Amino acid sequence: MFGRSKGPDFPPINVEGEGQLRARLRTSEGDVIVRLFEEKAPRTVANFVGLAQGAIEWEDPNNGETTTRPLYEKTIFHRVIPSFMIQGGDPLGQGTGGPGYRFSDEFHATLRHHKPGVLSMANSGPNSNGSQFFITEVATPWLDNKHSVFGEVIENMDVVKAIARVPTNPVNNRPQNDVVLEKITIYRGENPPD
């Protein structure tokens, strides 16, 4: 799932405009708008933005090829648990894939899993971040200082709730019908580009 460790060499965030850095997650269930905390979680946000925009080289676990294709396009939410969270960002769609590298945790005293809609990195233990992320549906304080918070939902939390309630396989919490993350658009300001 992982591989090499990645140093502090994520590309700079290159998004035109002014204002808050945001991402529109276009899913098969509707759009979710998140604010990204670039000041408080700069490396984690740079990784997410770089993978979303195709600005970071990563190793596709499906074929072993190195690519700069936007990683998140056409991936699925492979794990959804009502009254907990929805998880995606795995190029394999199974919960075991990633970009072929891992990077260290990034915690900030004011970034907590204290409410619904927190965007955070999924991991398999300390300093094992890659591409997988989750969005909380409720407060999950037991995840503080274990998972790096890097954003929050600011519009369409109802879509997160809908995804969390799709029928799933009770063994692995995978949706019975794929919930697809079609594309992530990174932008600044109030309105996402079309």
Q: Report d(CA 191, CA 194) in Å as an integer.
A: 9
Exactly one of 20, 35, 84, 94 is catalytic; name it: 84
Chain-wide mean pLDDT for the chain?
95
Q: pLDDT grade, residue 7 (50/70/90)?
A: low
Please compute the mean of the pLDDT values over residues 160-166 and round it to a whole number. Answer: 98
Provide the whole-model pTM. Answer: 0.95
132-153: pLDDT as tens digits: 999 999 999 999 999 999 999 9
Q: Is 92 a catalytic residue?
A: no
Exactly one of 134, 173, 174, 181 is catalytic; name it: 134
Q: Report d(CA 12, CA 17) in Å as an integer.
A: 15
Q: Is 127 a catalytic residue?
A: no
Q: pLDDT grade, residue 1 (50/70/90)?
A: very low
Count the alpha carbons within 13 Å of 4 in the hemisphere toward its beta carbon. 5
Q: Is 143 a catalytic residue?
A: yes
The radius of gyration of the chain from alpha carbons, rounded to an integer in Å, stands at: 15
Query: Helix, strand or coil for residue 33?
Result: strand
Q: Is 108 a catalytic residue?
A: no
- Phi/psi of residue 142, nearest 5 degrees: -70, -10
Q: Which domains does the chain have, with CATH numbers?
A: 21-188 (2.40.100.10)
75: Cα separation from own chain's centroid: 11
Please compute the mean of the pLDDT values over residues 8-22 and round it to a whole number. Answer: 88
Q: Is 132 a catalytic residue?
A: no
Exactly one of 37, 147, 173, 181 is catalytic; name it: 147
Q: Is the separation of the CB atoms in 193 and 183 below 8 Å?
A: no
23-77: pLDDT as tens digits: 999 999 999 999 999 999 999 999 999 999 999 999 999 999 999 999 999 999 9
Q: Is 129 a catalytic residue?
A: no
